[in-house]
Chains A and B, each alone.
Chain A
Amino acid sequence: MISAYLSRLKEYASFDESLEISPYAKMMGFRLRRQDGNLMTAMTFNSNHIGSPYPPTLHGGTVASLMEMAALMQLIWDKDMGHLPKAIDITVDYLRSGKPEDTYARARVFRRGRRFATLHAEAWQSDPEKPIASAMLHFQLSE
């Protein structure tokens, strides 16, 4: 299902598509984007994402799950995987508080073996040079 969804998108050099194939991704307002050949995952701001009201900041969990989604999408995208890799762990560093606005995440595959993959992800808002969080992730690739 996910592979069919992504292979359709591979024909486009740029796109911005809602990740409605997953109920959780849909609820979170996650979108998959491609710009200048780079894949990223976006989270459209919604007041439901707030974790602390005064001043309004994003819940850290929303940013962590956005980075995990970006890592998962990058893994599937790179190798046209037909099944979902399984997350083993995620270590998040929170660098700046998330403002009540759209957030983006991208992931880089550090190493991809036969069974496991190691990725680094970062999340930012208006300025990609000022990440609000970064993460290291491990996934199990084998079924």
Chain B
Amino acid sequence: MIPHAQKLGLRLSDQQGESLIIEMPYKAEQEAVSGSGIVANGAITTLLDTALGAAVYDQFETFRRIVTLDLRVDYFEKPQPFSTIVVKTRCLKVTDQMVFVQGDAYSGEGSSPIAHGIAVFSYAEMETNK
């Protein structure tokens, strides 16, 4: 398990075809401003980073060592207060050394995304099992 993902309470809630659905339940300690119910951007960025990384792992049958080359997050609007944030991933392309992935983040019952992330990961075979 990933300690920081655990700290944020992230969990894989569903898999829809190629897409992973990863959730971050609301926690008061993730608020940017106390009492607002609005989760800090940093937590949303971390949720997207984690979800996109998981989508990359999901592309392979065997374990690979993956590294994030870059990550861009667009913050469309504030999440709904006190709501769970859900990311749905989409793998765009797998090449012999890289994987291109993107994901949309939704909050509460909202049907339009509150944020979008797109990332490039590099990967390598694990040479030996530790």
Contacts and interface: CB of A to CB of B under 8 A. Distances in A.
Most buried by A among B4, B70, B75: B4
Interface footprint category on B: 20 to 34
B43 interface: yes
Interface of A: 1, 21-28, 47-54, 59-62, 64-66, 68-69, 84, 86-94, 97
Q: Is the interface of A mostly helix, strand, loop or mixed?
A: mixed
A84 B50 CA distance: 26
B70 A93 contact: yes
Nearest to B118: A91
Given A91-B71, A94-B71, 6 more contacts: A21-B34, A27-B7, A48-B7, A59-B4, A66-B42, A87-B75
Contacts of A94: 67-71
B71 A60 contact: yes
B24 to A, nearest CB: 11
B84 interface: no
